[in-house]
Amino acid sequence: MRRFFTVALLIMRKDLRVETRSRELFLTTLFFSVSTVLVFAFGFVRDGRPVENAVAGILWIAIAFAGTLALGRTFERERYHDVLRALLLAPVDRPAIYVGKLLGILALLAAVEVVIVPLVALLFQAPLFRQPILTFLLLSLGTLGFSAVGTLFGAMLVRARSRDVLLPVLLYPITIPVIIAGVRGIAVLLQPEVDVAMARAWIGMLVFFDVVFITLSLWTFEPVMTE
Amino acid sequence: MMHRMFSVVIVVATIFFVCAPVFIAWAPYESTMGLVQKIFYFHVPSWAAMFVAAFVCGIASAVFLFRGRLISDRIAVASAELVVVFGLIGLVSGPLWARKAWGVWWQWDARLTMALVLWMIFIAYLLLREYGGPGSEKLAAGVALFGMANVPFVYWSVNVWRTVHPTTNVVPTLVPGMRGPLWWSLVGFLLLYVLAMMARVRLETQRAALEQIYRELDD
């Protein structure tokens, strides 16, 4: 068990070190999600005020798009010099590789969200920090669910053709519950009358989703990655 | 063995499909919707067949993923294609009915959304198999497994969000005259599914055998 986490942390550290040296993923993903928010601002702001309930959707679409881009790029990196194959050949638990990659993606998306969430709150005058703990839980659990499925699909598509298109094609229909829960959860927090009970229900659903899909991913990672 | 079973299923399915229009015509008219309600005998069975096909595909994919049996992969791909076909029937017949019953073509309701999402997952499954290159069967099996696990989540979340569609407990409350034709059509559609799947699995098996012969010829 300890070895499992050592391996996972090692892989995460490798990813983060590559990232801190180049900053390629962070900067491109961040700029991309800011551009997405901007495009939505032109679509959903009328008379200087955002359309009702649009903010939660804009925030989650920006996160989902940024996540897809980051997942695609991080596994593209693993393809150079067959790094992923080398990792799979290493005498370690395969699920530990999955967990390591997942942690790396989560760290990256967290860094992007730290910028993008206040930016959305600022640009659309949204009271996102009125319930900081619930907002944090919704964002982190949603990001975890999205990345858990995304990391498995990203890893398995490394060997496939036309992987750039196939990743979003597979990922979005499967992560629809995360998007619904995330958007509705944030939306009830942004209402003039905050509906805490409803937000808690969405958080509960996200926890359930995360548990089921992380378990499934750990379980299927080994057979899916075996050639 | 397979041949004889196929012929039996084909005969029974034909009987069901020939008699179904008569039974549907005999069924009483619904008081408020009238003739439009007859889509029901077509719409509900097509969704039922789709859900059965999706379920079979999920199970077969899991067996393929963990046991590596080739036959289960063939059953999975055959079922996935049928999910898309039956889903399309449901997606065309549904809005026609909804336009009359609810006044709109589409509603973002739990059942509708869940069926649409499930249908899209299986389209994604087929896209992956088609364009994913060699080795994509395994990846597709993973997708089918995730798609199956997704159904209750989508259902629950859209249910909390909004619902207008009648629930399944409508069926026991139906007028007896309507129940018979519904069950008849339901069995008919399931037989159609079994028939199409058997034919498709056989095609895939023969294709694999042909491939094998070519390979032996090359060696």
Nearest to A159 by CA among A66, A88, A65, A68: A88
Query: pLDDT tens, A148-201?
Result: 999 999 998 988 888 889 999 999 999 998 998 999 999 989 888 888 888 898
Counting the structural domains of chain A, the total is 1
Distance CA A53, CA B106 (A): 21
Tell me how close the Cα of A22 comes to any Cα of chain B, in angstroms.
30
| Lowest pLDDT segment from A80-89, A103-112, B176-185 | B176-185
Domain residues for the domain of A128 are 2-226
Asked if A213's CB is within 8 angstroms of B146's CB, the reply is yes
Q: Are B184 and B16 in contact (CB under 8 A)?
A: yes
Distance CA B135, CA A224 (A): 10
- What phi and psi values does residue B162 have, to the nearest 5 degrees? -170, 150
Name B96's Cβ contacts closer than 8 Å, sequence gap at least 6: B36, B39
Question: Which chain B residues are within 8 Å of A209, Cβ to Cβ?
Answer: 153
Tell me how close the Cα of A23 comes to any Cα of chain B, in angstroms.
30
Specify the residue for token string 């548990």: A211
Interface of B with A (CB under 8 A): 65-66, 117, 120-121, 124, 127-128, 131-133, 135-136, 138-139, 141-143, 145-147, 149-150, 153-154, 156-158, 160-161
Specify the residue for token string 């990345």: A147
What pLDDT is recorded for position B38?
79
DSSP symbol at A227? -
Q: Using DSSP, how many helices (H) and how many strands (E) does chain A show? A: 9, 2
Asked if B127's CB is within 8 angstroms of A180's CB, the reply is no
What token pair was written down for A117? 């969430």
- Stretch A78-102: mean pLDDT, rounded? 88
The domains of chain B, with CATH numbers, are 2-218 (1.20.120)
Query: pLDDT tens, B62-94?
Result: 999 888 888 999 999 999 999 999 999 988 888
Closest residue of chain B to A159, computed from CA coordinates: B135
B157 vs A161, A181, A216: nearest CB: A181
A223 vs B66, B132, B150: nearest CB: B66
The pTM score is 0.86
Per-residue confidence at B170, pLDDT binned at 50, 70, 90? Answer: low
Query: pLDDT tens, B21-32?
Result: 888 777 777 766
B135 vs A159, A177, A212: nearest CB: A159
Asked if A156's CB is within 8 angstroms of B149's CB, the reply is no
Tell me how close the Cα of B176 comes to any Cα of chain A, in angstroms.
38
